[in-house]
Chain A
């Protein structure tokens, strides 16, 4: 049993819903109680989809349990087929459905429905949402792809784009961007799946020469199977950031034997210049912490460190399936990866590291807000405002532009930072005033105003506890207040650490500046 306040991933059947909802003519019959229909709102409210997800829930009740829940399932499946007339169906159970062991797969076989029915086994008590999406996509591909005709002779080079789903973080725009990029390489796109794909499209998967795996969390398993079965190679680089996009282009050149040099030469991202322009000097060594799914965390760590000139002080993922990749990446930045799905552990690490910026999910956004640390959202799970109306991919060269803006926006701008440092006593530079271009001022420390008075005492205490024996003299305390709030926590901790190492009982102004020079970077 695991105590959870917030979860990074939903149950695996929600992953299956993301596949079904992405497609145009697939229907999902889910053996589940009525409360599980909440998942519809993820798609209709958070992502603002215009249609209800193509999901029929059997909504069995307690009184059905003694009677015949399998009949209920069969009726629901038959009715759904008749009403929605899908080109194929997937069937399975949610956590409660799994416990009553009705075997939706077997039951639907006995129905003899006139369309392909693909059974899903998604173990709810050990697996999670992304795994469920990956497994569902794999099962659909495995069942449908072989049914299509073999490829006829074709002259152009084509690929499939695999992995974008409903409720995906920026998937819609990533697809547009990558399609454009592939076309400029002279490669046509055969099928994009599962997003906006029909069942018929999946029958044509085998016609492509290779597969682009946009989101390994979703598509790696299916791509590996397609490679084994139809000898289609697949890409391994996720084109997020300028460097990764260029590597991605090279990888495709290698797979297809195309010449990519022209395209590489005219790569049109503004990020390299913006990052070199002197205004960006203040970004140097900004201490950043990253948390999210493996794909985005690995990619963004590279962007942060190599393309923005930040310093990665910590990173982690909830994608246990790809823990090794994240560990390797972390090691290359000299930090240790945190692999967890416990929000509180992430929060503890952020408090300990006191980064100047957090790149994370909606959970980290809230945590960072509470701690007064600037934050940008770079990975699912996300909220409604992370599905913007405007075009904003993360991938490709345009994606790199978007990332530059995303990563700079929450920070205090260059000169402003100097002014804040120099004129601490200006009455308008109070601690609650965030960067001046962020009008809502939500980035100041909000201690004490959390939850209408139910303050989170840990933040303040974490320092005071370990400094029980060390006393801050008034002058030093006053001086510390002049340090901008976004680095003050770090200054306090470092000074205390320094004093402790020297065995000092008091911290004077002198100690403060000694410590500053000791830790200066």
Chain B
């Protein structure tokens, strides 16, 4: 393992970045990156996500988004058909027609993502060329970008990473003499974003922007004086793309829980030279509030044993929070993909005896899980009910992605998400 060269901080006795990782290759029971569209299409209010894929992709979106079907969504699927594949129809022409029709129907759309899928990747349909061609045709009204959310390349939240990474090259340039600015990266619930914006402002970090912005024309500029802080752990490619544009990465863990949020804010504060006293003054009240909120659940959760199946890449920060602030004990924490650089601060706070696994062989992992006899299992929707039937309490991981959990004000809610299934199991008398 070559992480040593990156000079990561490893606090003695606390755990270590350079730890053994159980690598699994087998059946992966994880959504593909298309699923990120579920929240991204709500986050960017004038963007549309057009998947170029198969009926399976359309069905995935519908099944996973079932509960949000009420409003006409800002996503759709251009389903490839036999005649497209047999070369009877020119796929590029077909795609152009679909896009024309779509934009005519939704004139308010300013940003269109062409989203690649497994089938479009396998047949090597060049969506970046299509995006360029269509951009010329529809500019300046609509900007057209592309990324892949295919299941052969991305898992679940990596779809957001690919989407944001595709945005980065098109972000406006910040002039070289621009003041030092902070860029917070990763889609957050609007309410969380607003809370963070207020905190940074109080800290005196006045040039703060968020990626993605809520509107296409509002995307933040980037340049050599941009310092970026990741709000989500799964942004490997986005971080790389930002660095390629000269922006600088602020090394940090992630803002989950009272302590996680404090350290995350502190990383930005020290980058921007905020005096310690000032920092304490700003964070102490909300941090106290957060600690109090979390503590309410400590009695119910401490010493409970956790087992994480891989899903969103939020698993390691969650395990850190639940251990550090609630005294829970993680037996195994699975992640679909482990980026040791971005996860360094989190890994170093994880006790040594926690098994970290990357990738999946779901049947073997289920065997390990049953053997380990955890009190609560964090897993995807396909596994949850069957485990409950076996008497194992579960928390569906997708809820952790769809609920505002970051920041001080949400720390208590985050703890509650884990307390609820346990509470429910003890309450029911049927």
A binding-site residues for B, Cβ under 8 Å: 1-7, 9-11, 13-14, 33-42, 44-46, 48-52, 56-62, 64-65, 76, 79, 83, 94-96, 99-100, 123-126, 128, 362-363, 366, 369-370, 383, 450-452, 454, 456
Contact = CB atoms under 8 A, between A and B. Distances in A.
A83 B76 CA distance: 39
Given A2-B78, A37-B29, A45-B381, A60 B55 contact: no
A60 B152 contact: yes
B384 interface: yes
Interface stretch (B80-88, B268-276, B405-413): B80-88
B385 A95 contact: no
A181 B95 CA distance: 53
A450 B70 contact: yes
Given A35-B30, A44-B386, A52-B386, 19 more contacts: A1-B97, A3-B77, A5-B76, A6-B58, A7-B58, A34-B151, A35-B32, A37-B28, A39-B59, A40-B29, A41-B64, A44-B382, A44-B384, A45-B385, A125-B54, A125-B80, A126-B81, A451-B70, A454-B71
A506 to B, nearest CB: 32
21 contacts: A1-B94, A2-B78, A2-B79, A4-B76, A4-B79, A5-B72, A10-B56, A33-B118, A34-B151, A35-B155, A37-B382, A42-B63, A44-B381, A45-B382, A52-B383, A59-B28, A61-B153, A76-B27, A95-B54, A95-B119, A454-B72
Contacts of B30: 34-35, 37
Nearest to A365: B69
B277 interface: no
A40 B64 CA distance: 11
A64 B30 CA distance: 17
A348 to B, nearest CB: 12
Contact of A3 (B63, B72, B102, B121): B102
Contacts of A14: 56, 59
A2 B91 CA distance: 11
B60 interface: yes
B389 A50 contact: yes
B156 to A, nearest CB: 9
Contacts, number: 192
B22 interface: no
Contacts of B382: 37-38, 40-41, 44-45, 52
Contacts of B427: none
A75 to B, nearest CB: 9
Contacts of A6: 58, 62, 69
Interface of B: 26-35, 54-56, 58-60, 62-64, 66, 69-73, 76-82, 84-85, 89, 91, 94-95, 97-98, 101-102, 118-119, 121-123, 150-153, 155, 363, 380-386, 389
Contacts of A366: 69-70
Contacts of A65: 122, 152
A33 B73 contact: no
Nearest to B79: A2
Contacts of A100: 122
Nearest to A100: B122
Nearest to A2: B79
B387 to A, nearest CB: 9
A432 B418 CA distance: 38
A360 to B, nearest CB: 13
Contacts of B84: 1, 125
A211 B389 CA distance: 35
A502 B95 CA distance: 45
A124 B56 contact: yes
Given A3-B78, A14-B59, A451-B72, A33 B389 contact: no
A74 to B, nearest CB: 14
Contact of B55 (A3, A95, A450): A95
Nearest to A123: B82
Nearest to A452: B71
Contact of A44 (B62, B70, B80, B383): B383
A69 B124 CA distance: 18
A35 B31 contact: yes
Given A39-B63, A96-B152, A362-B69, A11 B55 contact: yes
A351 to B, nearest CB: 14
Contacts of B56: 10-11, 13-14, 36, 94-96, 124
A35 B155 CA distance: 7
B150 A38 contact: no
B65 to A, nearest CB: 9
Contacts of A452: 71
Contacts of B97: 1
Residue of B56, B62, B78, B150 contacting most chain A CB atoms (<10 Å) = B56
A446 to B, nearest CB: 9
B59 A1 contact: no
Contacts of A39: 59, 63
Contacts of B153: 61-62
A463 to B, nearest CB: 19
A123 B55 CA distance: 11
Given A3-B101, A11-B56, A450-B71, A59 B27 contact: yes
B258 to A, nearest CB: 31
Contacts of B381: 40-41, 44-45
Contacts of B66: 46, 362, 383
Contacts of A10: 55-56, 59, 63
A99 B123 contact: yes
Contacts of A5: 72-73, 76
Contacts of B89: 1
Given A1-B78, A1-B80, A11-B56, A99 B29 contact: no
B107 to A, nearest CB: 11
A35 B34 contact: yes
Contacts of B383: 40, 44, 52
Contacts of B31: 35, 37-38
Contact of B76 (A3, A35, A52, A123): A3
A2 B81 contact: yes
Nearest to B45: A454
Contacts of A37: 27-31, 382
A498 B360 CA distance: 67
A-B pairs, 4 with minimum CB distance: A35-B32, A35-B151, A451-B71, A40-B382
B28 A34 contact: yes
B389 A51 contact: yes
